[in-house]
Amino acid sequence: MKKSILIVLLSAIVGGLTAFAVVKNTDTSEKMTVVDTTGGGQYRTVNLSLSDYPDFTYAAESAVDAVVYVKVVAKDVVTGIPGSIFDFFFGYGATPQEREKVGSGSGVIIRPDGYIVTNNHVVEGATEIQVTLNNNKTFDARLIGTDPATDVAIIKIDAEGLPVIPFGNSDELRLGEWVLAIGSPYDLRSTITAGIVSAKGRSMPNYDGEFKIESFIQTDAAVNPGNSGGALVDKKGNLVGVNTAIISQTGSYTGYSFAIPSNMVKKVAEDLIDFGSVKRAVLGITMTPITDKIVKELKLSSFDGVYITEVLKGSAADQAGIRKGDVLIAVDSVSVRNAAAVQEAVNSYRPGDEAELTIIRDGKEKVVHVEFKSTMVDNGSVDEEGAVAFYGSRIKEAGKEKLESLGLDRGVEIVSVGPGKIMDAGVSEGFVILYVNDQPVSTPKDVLDIARKSKRAVYIEGVTSYGRPSYFGFGAE
Catalytic residue among 228, 257, 315, 416: 228
Residue-by-residue DSSP string for 288-344:
EE--HHHHHHHT-S-S-SEEEEEE-TTSHHHHHT--TT-EEEEETTEE--SHHHHHH
- Residue 111 exposed, middle or buried by CB count within 10 Å (0-12, 13-18, 19+): middle
**Which one-letter amino acid corresponds to residue 358?**
T
Cβ atoms within 10 A of the Cβ of 309, count? 11
3-state secondary structure of 21: helix
Helix 262-275, helix 339-347: angle, nearest 10: 40
Whole-number Å distance between alpha carbons of 32 and 47: 6
- Residue 116 exposed, middle or buried by CB count within 10 Å (0-12, 13-18, 19+): buried
- Residue 41 exposed, middle or buried by CB count within 10 Å (0-12, 13-18, 19+): exposed
Give the chain's largest Cα–Cα span.
Answer: 122
Q: Which residues pair with 102 in a beta bridge?
A: 73
Active site residue 274: no
Whole-number Å distance between alpha carbons of 430 and 428: 6
For 193, phi and psi rounded to 5 degrees? -125, 155
Whole-number Å distance between alpha carbons of 455 and 467: 30
Active site residue 151: yes
Nearest to 152 by CA among 195, 110, 103, 199: 110
- Residue 397 exposed, middle or buried by CB count within 10 Å (0-12, 13-18, 19+): buried
User: Rounded to the nearest 5 degrees, what angle is found at the Cα of 125, between the Cα atoms of 123 and 126?
Assistant: 60
User: Rounded to the nearest 5 degrees, what angle is found at the Cα of 192, between the Cα atoms of 189 and 195?
Assistant: 150
Catalytic residue among 151, 234, 318, 326: 151
Nearest to 149 by CA among 208, 212, 206: 212
Output b/e per residue, 54-72; b: 16+ Cβ within 10 A.
Answer: eebeebbebbbbbbbbbbb
Catalytic residue among 87, 121, 374, 449: 121
Whole-number Å distance between alpha carbons of 131 and 71: 6
Whole-number Å distance between alpha carbons of 157 and 161: 12
Active site residue 121: yes
Whole-number Å distance between alpha carbons of 282 and 260: 19
- Active-site annotation, residues: 121, 151, 228
